[in-house]
Amino acid sequence: MSAQQLVVVTGASTGMGAATARELARQGFHVLAGVRRDRDADALRGDGVEPVILDITETARVEALAARVDADPRPLRAVVNNAGIQVNAPVEALPLAEWRRVFEVNLFGHIAVTQALLPALLRSGGRVLNISSIGGKAAMPTYGAYAGAKFALEAVSDALRREVEPLGVRVIVLEPGGVRTEMSGRGIVTANDLAARMTPEQDARYGGLVQAINSLMASGTSAGLTADAAARVIAKAVTARRPRTRYTVGRDAAMIIGMARVLPDRLLDRVIAGTVRRHLPKPTTA
């Protein structure tokens, strides 16, 4: 059956998105894989994978994707909203323009794609898969913008599910923990760039914290799932006859989301503070 069905995967240039596109193609779907650049398209193109130049924040690109889907006689099985950026900085120090950029990509872009493709999904009885994060359930320090957009994506997913499941469209949230992709490395570079722009007073308040979070991010990524393992969970959500509303991806995600669900805020604060403390830079001695 999958050979006669389309799947759209956004953010497919590298990492989980690319792995998901290949895994779904391996399972027989025809995948429209959103990429930003021609060289990414050339690297990804293969049997069952059709790269599409896509920036989910550009209306014309999203409309072109919808037109491509509408022109295809095959039904649309699923839309995997995977595109995203990671920007970490303390709430006080992150410029408002960066807040807006994070929300444009990590929230509003997904809404734009979903709105554009919902008519096709309603016709086919397909499904929407929104790639959230453990940051959609528990916000670490310096993750205000990233986690804020993911919290919002979780809420939008709940509202959408209650709107369209009675109409035959399933809505599923996936919550990955650490995954070995290029995203965290880019996030560390961005965090360091933003930290370099902090005022001396902000650096005194948060400089050590930024270093600790970068160290924690690097260690969590190196110990995380491979992109291929994460892609298999996403593919399961695409193909399951009766999918769950949410899937955690990785043991760390299951553990942290479980703690966030049951621990009082102050106790969770202490757990997070203890984790961060182990990564703080050691004080220098004269």
Q: Is 143 a catalytic residue?
A: no
Catalytic residue among 143, 146, 206, 247: 146
Encoding tokens for residue 185? 């490395």
SS (HEC) of the chain? CHHHCEEEECCCCCHHHHHHHHHHHHCCCEEEEEECCHHHHHHHCECCEEEEECCCCCHHHHHHHHHHHHCCCCCEEEEEECCCCCCCCCCCCCCHHHHHHHHHHHHHHHHHHHHHHHHHHHHHCCEEEEECCHHHCCCCCCCHHHHHHHHHHHHHHHHHHHHHHHHCCEEEEEEECCEECHHHHHHHHHHHHHHHCCCHHHHHHHHHHHHHHHHHHHHHHHCCEEHHHHHHHHHHHHHCCCCCCEEEECHHHHHHHHHHHHCCHHHHHHHHHHHHHCCCCCCCCC
Catalytic positions are 146
